[in-house]
């Protein structure tokens, strides 16, 4: 069984778990009550519009990545090699807590952006969050996009990133419509995000090593 076959089977579940792991990030989770509470006060369906915008943003990333890599199928072996190196590298970044992603984009998240009222404003806000949160979720998102690039299937790529966004959506909906979840409580939960991050790093390293074995070593053992 090659990597593509295995990824197509386990990919959706892994992408959903990756979305949940991403939202636990200390620079994402504590911000959610302020964003979603404000949104709920300006319309009970606005949080859903935000999540829809977030899903659009991530799904487009998957489609674009797949479409780009599809044009380089003549260099498929090199794509595999680069993917293996990138996935292992991102796993090490998470495991060893290297901060290679700049959080400056988060500083640009202003009250002006938050104050765009209505469903359309929520949709635009969600699309913006998909980009603004890249520094926080970079390693996990990068790994998912790398796997999508290896597959080079536009429909599957968009679908996997949509499922990834659903990993964001479920906790966000719970927070948006729960009166008992506060910033301080989520701040405490986010402290455990470091353990989730390290566990995800180990998983990524394992996936990268498995890809190396599947794509390069096992063929010489047959």
Task: Note the pLDDT tens digit of each residue in 39-52.
Answer: 556 667 888 888 89
Task: Render the burial of 14-44: b for 16+ CB within 10 Å, e for the rest.
Answer: bbbbbbbbbbbbbebbbbbbebbbbbbebee
Size of the chain in residues: 222
Q: What is the pLDDT of residue 191?
A: 67
Checking if the pLDDT of 98 tops 70, the result is no
pTM beyond 0.75, yes or no: no
What does the domain layout of the chain look like in residue ranges? 30-221
Q: What is the pLDDT of residue 60?
A: 92
Q: What is the mean pLDDT of residues 5-30?
A: 72
Q: Give residue 102's pLDDT band: very low, low, confident or very high (50, 70, 90).
A: very low
Nearest to 30 by CA among 183, 182, 181, 179: 183
The C-alpha atoms of residue 198 and residue 71 are separated, in whole angstroms, by 34
Say whether pLDDT at 64 is over 70. yes
Residue 116's region, left for phi above 0, alpha for psi from -120 to 50, else beta, is beta
pLDDT, position 8: 47
pLDDT tens per residue across span 160-213: 899 999 988 888 888 777 756 655 666 666 666 677 778 878 888 888 888 788
């Amino acid at each position: 069984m090659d990597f593509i076959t295995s990824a197509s089977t386990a990919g959706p579940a892994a992408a959903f778990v990756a979305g949940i792991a991403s939202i636990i990030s200390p620079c994402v989770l504590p911000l959610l009550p302020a964003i979603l509470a404000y949104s709920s006060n300006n319309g009970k369906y606005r949080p859903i519009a935000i999540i829809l915008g977030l899903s659009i943003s991530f799904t487009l990333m998957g489609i674009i990545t797949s479409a780009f890599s599809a044009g380089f199928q003549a260099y498929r072996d090199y794509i595999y090699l680069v993917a293996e190196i990138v996935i292992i590298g991102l796993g090490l970044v998470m495991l060893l807590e290297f901060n290679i992603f700049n959080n400056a984009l988060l500083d640009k998240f202003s009250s002006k952006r938050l104050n765009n009222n209505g469903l359309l404003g929520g949709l635009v806000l969600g699309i913006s969050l998909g980009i603004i949160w890249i520094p926080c979720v970079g390693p996990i998102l990068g790994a998912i996009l790398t796997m999508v690039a290896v597959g080079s299937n536009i429909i599957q790529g968009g679908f996997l990133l949509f499922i990834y966004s659903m990993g964001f959506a479920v906790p966000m909906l719970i927070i948006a419509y729960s009166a008992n979840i506060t910033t301080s409580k989520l701040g405490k939960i986010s402290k455990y995000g470091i353990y989730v991050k390290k566990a995800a790093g180990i998983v990524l390293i394992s996936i990268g090593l498995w890809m190396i074995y599947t794509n390069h070593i096992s063929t010489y053992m047959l």
